[in-house]
Structure 1
Amino acid sequence: MRGWWQDLADLVLPAECAGCGRPRAVLCPECRAALDGSAPCRVRPVPEPPGLPVVHAAAAYADAVRAALLAHKERGALTLAAPLGAALAGAVRAGLSNSACGGYPAAPGGGGPVSRVGRPVRGGRPVRGGGPVLLVPVPSARGAVRARGHDPARRIALAAAGELRRSGTSARVVAVLRQRRAVADQSGLGSRQRLENLAGALEVVAGGARLLRDGPVVLVDDLMTTGASLSEAARAVTSTVYRARAREEMGERNAASPRKEGNPVYEAPELAGAYAAGHVRCAAVVAASPEAFELCRN
């Protein structure tokens, strides 16, 4: 685990570029250009997991970008949070301005709209009165956070929120997701194995549903490979918000009679599933696999 003295050393001692090793540069101009020198693109994993929201990435996970993400995540190069956060903010803006992430998200399988979420977004900024953009980071396992000394996705999300605010977009981080059970190490697992490993693994903390209704939700992470983590995060957020709204609506309609405990309508998976990623505006990541970029270009 990192100590405070290591964090201080990162700030005052000469550094090497995390991308190429060039001395006295946290991230040299060439590697920074590889990270955020081009416009963020929509990315799709193959196969695409069910319930995955529209995802935008700032860069392909290769070479200097891969080295920078690993340095931040595994070696605790915390000064990289700022450039990585700026890249993530660009992906968030792209997601919000994409027409597929508009006011009425589509149902699973390309069906019609199912629910209005928040307010329409124009030019990457919420329409007045729509509330701040809520960045919800995909959580790391508790053991991994302890071993690394920080939660990489949350740290980058905080930097991205600051970058968005500086550019005029109201945004804040709402870290309401947590792992409800232990999961196996994802490295070495295929797409189907990752889906099975993460199925039902995330949940929203108590009181989180109220926070999630303050504005449009954007799921964020540092990296997307198979999309399993983002798909599970979307399920957890959507089902929680829907159940909360269903309880409120049922309570309003049945205010004159006591609620029947155990009524299956409050937990019916088919009702929550009907909304799929309906309460999630979109998702954004710093990097995704190069193949995911190629699929969207084609």
Structure 2
Amino acid sequence: MGLLGEFGELLLPRRCAGCGRENVSLCTRCLRLLGGIPRAMEPRYGTIPIVGVCEYNSQISKMVVGYKDEGRRDILDPLALALTRSIVAALDLIGYSGGAIRLFPAPSSDRARRRRGGSHTAALANRAKELSPELPLEVFDVLAAKRSRDQVGLGAIERARNAERTQYLNRRRIAEIPEM
């Protein structure tokens, strides 16, 4: 950290992205939340198996919102490692036997991408790839989203309705996907 960053820490101490504890990006307690056993969930829509990093709670919610909307890139590595563990658990669940693993990050609207300085989900997937060179991960940021209502405070059914017909393939980027 440079001198300017250290001076900034004196004025505005860093706080845990999960619980708000001072002087850490993630405290041990909140970091442990990301280190639990990934859990398989029944898909609510479709048939693709879903594996969650952990049980979703208020600290996890704060971490996700902090990373996504508040620019907390200081927690990118722990989130990427948790994502990698979930990917490995999902591969075990389906009996993965080798070959490329393609990740298609969830899209954000153009407005959200501009506000956040890019795709936070693509950055997360790419960091997971960098931190796990033993996994043949390929990241294709080819999904796009039309603007929709903010999802905060919506239940599962309301989120599904809100997201309906808002996601689509970015036709200009489809050519990036090689044949299997």
Provide the TM-score with structure 1 as the length reference: 0.51
Tell me, in whole angstroms, the C-alpha distance in 2 between the residues paired with 1:82 and 1:65: 15
Q: How far is the alpha carbon of 1:76 from its aligned partner? A: 0.7
Q: How far is the alpha carbon of 1:56 from its aligned partner? A: 0.2
User: Which runs of 5 or more structure 2 residues have no equivalent in the other structure?
Assistant: none
Partner of 1:238: none
1:158 aligns with 2:158: no
How do 1:134-149 residues align onto structure 2 when only pairs under 5 Å count? Answer: 134-149=102-117
Residue correspondences, number? 172
Give the letter for the 2:128 counterpart: A
Q: After alignment, is 27-36 or 63-72 more displaced?
A: 63-72
- Distance change >3 Å, CA 171–CA 21, structure 1 → 2: same
Higher share in strand: 1
Identity %: 27
Tell me, in whole angstroms, the C-alpha distance in 1 between the residues paired with 2:77 and 2:101: 19
Any conservation in 1 of the 2:140–2:176 contact (CA below 8 Å)?
no
Q: Which structure is richer in relative contact order (CA contacts within 8 A, separation 6 or more)?
A: 1
Q: 2:85 aligns with which of 76, 84, 90?
A: 90
Q: 1:201 aligns with which of 163, 166, 169?
A: 166
Give the letter for the 1:82 counterpart: D
- Distance change >3 Å, CA 97–CA 9, structure 1 → 2: same
Any conservation in 2 of the 1:18–1:71 contact (CA below 8 Å)?
yes
Partner of 2:62: 67
Q: How far is the alpha carbon of 1:57 from its aligned partner? A: 0.7
SS at match of 2:40: strand
Backbone CA RMSD of aligned residues: 2.5
Q: How far is the alpha carbon of 1:210 from its aligned partner? A: 6.3
Tell me, in whole angstroms, the C-alpha distance in 2 between the residues paired with 1:200 and 1:177: 12
SS at match of 1:154: helix
Partner of 2:39: 41
- Distance change >3 Å, CA 196–CA 20, structure 1 → 2: closer
SS at match of 2:51: strand
Any conservation in 1 of the 2:19–2:59 contact (CA below 8 Å)?
yes
Tell me, in whole angstroms, the C-alpha distance in 1 between the residues paired with 2:58 and 2:153: 20
Q: Deviations over 1:120-141 (max 9, x none)?
A: x24xxx2xxx2x3111101111
How do 1:230-245 residues align onto structure 2 when only pairs under 5 Å count? Answer: none
SS at match of 1:42: strand
Q: How far is the alpha carbon of 1:29 from its aligned partner? A: 1.7
1:76 aligns with 2:71: yes
Q: Deviations over 1:120-175 (max 9, x none)?
A: x24xxx2xxx2x3111101111112222334222221112112221xx11212111
Tell me, in whole angstroms, the C-alpha distance in 2 between the residues paired with 1:145 and 1:188: 21
Tell me, in whole angstroms, the C-alpha distance in 1 between the residues paired with 2:64 and 2:82: 12
SS at match of 1:27: coil
SS at match of 2:103: strand
SS at match of 1:59: coil
Partner of 1:246: none
Q: How far is the alpha carbon of 1:80 from its aligned partner? A: 0.9
Provide the TM-score with structure 2 as the length reference: 0.81
- Distance change >3 Å, CA 60–CA 150, structure 1 → 2: farther
Tell me, in whole angstroms, the C-alpha distance in 2 between the residues paired with 1:172 and 1:85: 14
Q: 1:170 aligns with which of 136, 141, 147?
A: 136
1:54 aligns with 2:49: yes
Of the two, which has the highest radius of gyration? Answer: 1
Partner of 1:19: 18
Q: How far is the alpha carbon of 1:182 from its aligned partner? A: 3.5
